[in-house]
Amino acid sequence: MDNAAAIGTTAAHGHAHEHAHHELGFWRKYVFSLDHKVIGIQYTLTGLLFLFFGFVLMMIMRWQLAYPMSPVPIIGGLLGTANAPGGIMLPEFYNQLGAMHGTIMVFLGVVPLAVGGFGNFVMPLQIGAPDMAFPKLNMMSYWVYFVGGVTMLASFFVTGGAANSGWTSYAPLAVTALGNGQTMWLIGMVFLITSSLLGSVNFIVTIVQLRAPGLTWMRLPFFVWAQLVTAFLLLLAFPPLEAAGVLQLMDRVAGTSFFMPSGLVVGGERLEISGGGNPLLWQHLFWFLAHPEVYVLILPALGIVGEIIANNTRKPLWGYRALVYSVIFLGFMSFIVWAHHMFMTGMGTTISAFFQTTTMIISIPSVVILTALLLSLWGGSIRFSTPMHFALAFLPMFGIGGLTGLPLGLAPTDIHLHDTYYVIGHFHYVVAPGTIFALFAGIYYWFPKATGRMMNDLLGRIHFWGSFICINIVFMPMFIQGLGGMNRRLYDGGAQYAHNAELLHWNVVIGMAAWTLALFQLPFIYNFFTSIRNGKPADRNPWDATTLEWTAPSPPGHGNFETTPVVYRGAYEYSMPGAPKDFTPQTEPERR
C-alpha cells in the first residue's frame, strides 16, 4: 500500500505521482476520493439529506399555521423550552424554521443535488472525459460545502437559535438580530459560496477542455449546456453575495454601518453606531446573486428533463438550437433583472421600468425552452417509464410557476402581491413540482448508471402519483391566499388580520397535504436504498439511450471509459430514417 500519511493530506498536496494502479484504502476510495463519480454521489446523498431536513422544518411550521398556538404533536417536547414551551412554538422559533427552511432547501439541498450531484456524476461521462479537470479542487468543493452545511445545522444550537430573519437576511433586522445564529448563517454562507465558486471553475474548464474527440458544441447534450450556463451564473453572481456577507458580518461583529441607517432605534434605545449606511445596499447585493440563483435552481432541471424526454419519446429534441441559444440568453438576462424583488423599495420610475422590461424579456427564452420541450412530445413514441412520469409532470408545473411570475415582474401588480403567499406559491411551483420533480426524474433515470441496478417501478409510480397530487394541493391554495392579501412570514398564519379570516382554513388543507406528501416520500427512500442491493440488474444502456454515459459500464470504473470515446453524431439520434435500431449512439460511426 502507499505511504500516504494522514487522511486527506496526500490528496491536498502536490500533484499525482505516476503510481501503478493499486487498491486505495477505504478513506481514499469512499470519503476523500478524487473521483467525480464518488464526489457526485457524496453531493447527492448529502443534498438529499438536507432536502429531507428542510422538508421536516416545513412540516413543523405547517402545524403552527394549521393549528396556531397548539402544541406540536409527537416532537413538541423535543423542541426545547427555549423554542416551544409546552410544545407551542414561539414566534422567534417559527421564524428560525422559516429562515432555515429556505436557506437549507436552496443552498444545501437543491443546488448541491442538481449541480454537485448530477453535474458531477453525469457531465464528465456525457462529454467522454475521464474525470473533471481539477479532481482535487472537486473534492475540496464538496468538503467545504459539508463544513458550510454543518455550520448551518449547528446554528440551531447556539445562543438565540438559528438565523430568523428570512433566508434573505435583510438589514437592519438581520444585523440587529440577537444571538449568534445570524452570524453563523453568514459564516456558513461564506463556506457555501466558496464551494460553489471552486466548483463552477471546475465545471466550465471541464466542459470547454475535456470534451471527447468529435464532440463539437452543437453535439453536446442539452444537459451539458444547461450545466455550463449554470456554472457561469454561479461564478459571476455569487461573489457579490460573498462580499455582502462579509459586510454584514462586520456590521454585526465589528460595529460598522454598511447597512445601518442613521438614527436607528431598537428596543427603545438609539443604537451606538456611526450610521450612514444603506439597507438597500444589502438588498441589491443579495438579489444580484439570488436572482441568478433561481436560474441555477431551474437550469439543471431543464437539462435533465430534456434528456429524459428525448429518450422516452424515441425522437430528437425539438428545436435543439433554439434550446441552446435560449439557455445562453436566459443566463445572460438573469443578471440584470434582480431589482424586480425590490419594486417596493422606493426606486424611481425609470429604473423600475428598466427592471420590469428586462424581467418581461427574460420570460421569452423560458417560454421558448418550455415550448421546445412540449413540442418534443409531438409525434413521439412515448414510453411511460418512471423518469418520464416526473419529466412530463414537470412541464405543466413549470408552466404554472413561470406564468404566475409574470404579475410579480410588473410593478403595478407586484404592489398587491409582494410578500404575500402568492409569491410563495409562485416560486414553490417552479422549485418543488418543478425542479425537485426533475431531480427525482434524474435519480430514477441515472440510478442504473451509478449502481448497475434499476429502481423499482411500482414504488416509483406510487411515489410519483402521491407526490404529484399532494404537492398541487399544498401550493395551489397559496395563490388564493396571496390574492386575498395574506402576508408571508406570519407565525400565526395570518390570523391576526381580519382580511385573512376567509383564507385561514386553507392552512389546514395545505398542512394535511404537506404531511401526506411526506408519507409518499417513504416509498422513494425505501426504493432508493434497497434497489442498490436488490434492484433488477442493469447493463450499460438499460434505457437504449444515445448519449455517451450509456456507453460506459454501469457503474463506470476508474477513468470511466475503456478507451476514449470518439463522437460522430449529435446527442439525440433517435428513430433516424434508415438506422437499424430506433436509437443511434453518439459513438456510432457514419455508415458507409
Partner 1 sequence: MHSNAAEVQQHIRTYAMIGGALLVATAITVAVSYVHLGTAGNITLALVIATIKASLVAAIFMHLNHEKAWIYGSLVLTAVFFAAVLLLPVLAGSNTFGTHAAPWAMPAAAADHAGH
Partner 2 sequence: MDMNIPYTAEARPDTGLTNGKLGIWLFLASEVMLFGALFSTYLILRVGSPVWPHGTLNVPLGTINTVLLISSSVTMVLAWAALKMNQFSRHRTYLIATVVLALLFLVNKFFEYREHLAHGTPPSASTFDAIYFTLTGLHGLHILGGVIVMVYFLGPGAALWRKNPEQFANRIEYTGLYWHFVDLVWIFLFPVLYLL
When binding is defined by CB under 8 A, the residue of 187, 339, 443, 486 that contacts partner 1 is 339
Dist CA 186 CA 244 (whole Å): 9
Per the CB < 8 A criterion, the answer to whether 153 and 590 are in contact is no
- 247 or 454: CB nearest partner 2: 247
Dist CA 449 CA 140 (whole Å): 25
Residue where the block lists cell 478524487: 34
**CA-based angle 145:234:399, to the nearest 5?**
105
Dist CA 436 CA 443 (whole Å): 10
Would you count residue 263 as binding partner 1 (CB under 8 A)? yes
Would you count residue 52 as binding partner 1 (CB under 8 A)? no
Dist CA 81 CA 97 (whole Å): 15
- 130 or 485: CB nearest partner 2: 130
Residue where the block lists cell 451606538: 272
Q: Looking only at Cα atoms, what is the longest distance across the chain?
A: 85
Dist CA 483 CA 538 (whole Å): 49
134 touches, from partner 1, partner 2, none (C-beta below 5 to 8 Å by class) = partner 2
Residue where the block lists cell 475535456: 210
When binding is defined by CB under 8 A, the residue of 43, 93, 232, 475 that contacts partner 1 is 232
Would you count residue 332 as binding partner 1 (CB under 8 A)? yes
346 touches, from partner 1, partner 2, none (C-beta below 5 to 8 Å by class) = partner 1
Which residue type sits at 434? G
Would you count residue 261 as binding partner 1 (CB under 8 A)? yes
559 touches, from partner 1, partner 2, none (C-beta below 5 to 8 Å by class) = partner 2
- Classify strands 269-270 and 265-266 as parallel, antiparallel or unpaired: antiparallel
Per the CB < 8 A criterion, the answer to whether 445 and 304 are in contact is yes
- 15 or 321: CB nearest partner 2: 15
Would you count residue 201 as binding partner 1 (CB under 8 A)? no
Stretch that binds partner 1, among 46-54, 345-353, 442-450, 495-503 (CB under 8 A): 345-353
Would you count residue 279 as binding partner 1 (CB under 8 A)? yes
- 25 or 485: CB nearest partner 2: 25
Per the CB < 8 A criterion, the answer to whether 305 and 394 are in contact is yes
Dist CA 113 CA 443 (whole Å): 10
- 157 or 217: CB nearest partner 2: 217
If DSSP codes are grouped into helix, strand and coil, which group holds residue 258?
A: coil
Would you count residue 477 as binding partner 1 (CB under 8 A)? no
Dist CA 200 CA 206 (whole Å): 10
427 touches, from partner 1, partner 2, none (C-beta below 5 to 8 Å by class) = none
Measure the CA dihedral 468/469/471/476, to 10°. Answer: 120
Dist CA 337 CA 422 (whole Å): 20
Closest contact distance (angstroms) between CB of 281 and partner 2 is 5
- 35 or 588: CB nearest partner 2: 35
Would you count residue 188 as binding partner 1 (CB under 8 A)? no
When binding is defined by CB under 8 A, the residue of 156, 238, 288, 447 that contacts partner 1 is 288
351 touches, from partner 1, partner 2, none (C-beta below 5 to 8 Å by class) = partner 1
Per the CB < 8 A criterion, the answer to whether 493 and 68 are in contact is yes
Would you count residue 228 as binding partner 1 (CB under 8 A)? no
Stretch that binds partner 1, among 27-35, 45-53, 336-344, 584-592 (CB under 8 A): 336-344
183 touches, from partner 2, partner 1, none (C-beta below 5 to 8 Å by class) = none
Show the cell assigned to 217: 458544441
- 251 or 588: CB nearest partner 1: 251
Show the cell assigned to 375: 413540442
Run of H or E residues at 270? strand 269-270
- 174 or 455: CB nearest partner 1: 174
Which residue type sits at 439? L
Dist CA 559 CA 372 (whole Å): 35
Residues that bind partner 2 (CB under 8 A): 13-19, 22, 24, 28, 34, 130-131, 133-135, 197, 200-202, 204-205, 208-210, 235-240, 242-244, 246-247, 250, 254-258, 273-274, 276-278, 281, 284-285, 288, 558-559
242 touches, from partner 1, partner 2, none (C-beta below 5 to 8 Å by class) = partner 2
The string of DSSP letters for 101-145 reads: HHHIIIIIIIHIIIIIIIIHHHHHHHTT-SS-S-HHHHHHHHHHH
- 166 or 240: CB nearest partner 2: 240
Closest contact distance (angstroms) between CB of 138 and partner 2 is 11
Measure the CA dihedral 568/572/575/578, to 10°. Answer: -20
Closest contact distance (angstroms) between CB of 13 and partner 2 is 8
Would you count residue 509 as binding partner 1 (CB under 8 A)? no
Binding mask 98-137 for partner 1 (x = CB under 8 A): ----------------------------------------
Dist CA 220 CA 547 (whole Å): 9
Residues near partner 1 (CB under 8 A) are: 208, 232, 236-237, 240, 260-263, 275-281, 284-285, 288, 332, 335-336, 339, 342, 345-348, 351
